[in-house]
Amino acid sequence: MMPNYFKITLFSLFFIPLSALAAEPTYNFPITVNSPDGSSEQITFPLPFDAIASIAALDLGDDGTSELLFGAPMGSSPQARLLRQDGSTILSWFPYNPKFRGGVAAVAADLNGDKKLEIVTSPLGAGGPHLKIFDTFGKLLSPGFFAPKDVATIASLERVDIEGDGRDELALVATNKKGVLTRYLLTGQGALIESAEEKSIAPKTIALKLSWQGQQFELVWSVQAKIVDRPGKVILVDLSDQKLSYYQDGFSLASYPVSTGRWGFPTPIGEFAVQNKIPRAYSKAYGLYMPYWMAFYRGQYGIHELPEWPSGYKEGENHLGTPVSHGCIRLGVGPAKEVYNWAEVGTTVIVQK
């Protein structure tokens, strides 16, 4: 018989190879249940993504046993998956276009106070501030609503009950269009209650109460692995992967393909800082415009959107992921503006092989 209270620790991930017929890899999340008498039990959850963006508990059968709802992380397709505690899948679906690679946050909430749970989803990163509402079978109940107009990049979504009346509200942490990390408190219908600047991207851990055969235990889960061990804003460019990622207080906000310097025109390697920002810079040397310019080295190397020529021709996005520039770091349409609005003069820029 399981005791009344457990503390569950989520450990690092292990890759489990699939058969040759499998379409995607599976990653098992081992969770150890530690009981007060010192005994332990391990449970694993197979998921098609290598990290977790969100986790929620809900009791579908009202039988005293919680099921677990997972959301895929940034860099993955926006897949939500509902699992039993033995790791078997109840439901798996894509709330948004599977081609989107920003991940998804999924929470279980009682938005109407009717003691029935809905599943609320939000795309992460720059996937657009469109929150959708599903029933616990994955059926779309409502097209949902859009977050406040100044939301730019969503980092996390959670449910809260600020009034204690059984009617849940939603807390959205996102960068606004000025690049300020902000916490938005919304009603279940999407109306803004309040917003305030948020100091950090997410708590290091979340304590989640679960039930098993009517008894309570707790899951302590790391929301998001800290990737860059430094405070503030950091832009990281990886030349080998041709990717730019940006971080707030060590936590990843988004990652995008770039095009860096081709052979003979290397992109400088090292640690730098944003020196200046120009909405639409012009290069006399190459006779082209560079939207959302952010210089980071000698005022001559910068991060910018795909270049444009005076004739109106614009560099194609098919070059992203391939080093073809004259040393600058080129971003696609959309991501360039997003990073430009988020970054400040002085933001750290790290370029590595």
Predicted confidence (pLDDT) per residue in 266-313, tens digit: 999 999 999 999 999 999 999 999 999 999 999 999 999 999 999 999
- Lowest-pLDDT range, 90-99, 221-230, 258-267? 221-230
326 is catalytic: no
> What are the structural domain ranges in the chain?
27-223, 233-351
Q: Tell me the C-alpha distance between 134 and 142, whole Å.
A: 7
Domain covering 27-223 in this structure, CATH number:
2.130.10.130
Tokens linked to 131: 């929150």
Tokens linked to 279: 């909405």
For the segment(s) 233-351, the CATH number from 3.40.50.1110, 3.30.2030.30, 2.40.440.10, 2.60.40.1180 is: 2.40.440.10
Please give the order of strands across the beta sheet that includes 151-160: 151-160, 169-176, 181-186, 192-197
Q: Tell me the C-alpha distance between 233 and 231, whole Å.
A: 7
Tokens linked to 282: 């012009």
pLDDT 10s digits, 179-227: 778 889 999 889 999 999 876 655 445 555 555 555 555 555 544 444 5
Strand partners, 183: 173, 196
**Of 130, 319, 326, 328, which is the active-site residue?**
328
Q: Is 318 helix (H, G, I), strand (E, B) or coil?
A: helix
Half-sphere exposure in the Cβ direction for 115 (13 Å, CA): 1
Q: Is 92 helix (H, G, I), strand (E, B) or coil?
A: strand
328 is catalytic: yes
